[in-house]
Amino acid sequence: MNFENVTVALEGNSYFNGDVTSRTLIFADGSKKTLGYMQAGEYGFGTESAELMEITSGEVEVKLPDSDEWVTIKGGESFSVPANSRFQINVKSVTDYCCSYL
């Protein structure tokens, strides 16, 4: 996956003592994505807008809102999270991701 004609925000995003990091890409139409990685561990995130989370490498288990089940997602797969919700993610190995804000 390659992106062209984007602006990269200079300041990075860091969560959970640096175990999850990302950089924001801003496209010409104003849309945003973040590219980052997660170290092994379990994390909880809240969303403001709907998100498409593409796992580019690694393996995670995710528990989406309104679900009691953990679903395994591997490199090359993705999952969606609704706006104004929370989800849990259990990162099994160092994982690269691309998050699109919908």
Domains of the chain, first to last:
6-101 (2.60.120.10)
Whole-number pLDDT of residue 7? 94
Rounded average pLDDT over 44-64: 97
Torsion of CA 10, 24, 63, 66, to 10 degrees: 120
Strand partners of residue 20: 15, 38
pLDDT higher than threshold 80 for residue 25: yes
pLDDT confidence of residue 1: 75
Average pLDDT of span 4-10: 92
pLDDT given for residue 74 in this prediction: 97
User: Alpha carbon 12 to chain centroid distance?
Assistant: 14
Q: How confident is the model at residue 2 (pLDDT cuts 50, 70, 90)?
A: confident
pTM over 0.95? The answer is no
What is the token pair recorded at 5?
């004609």
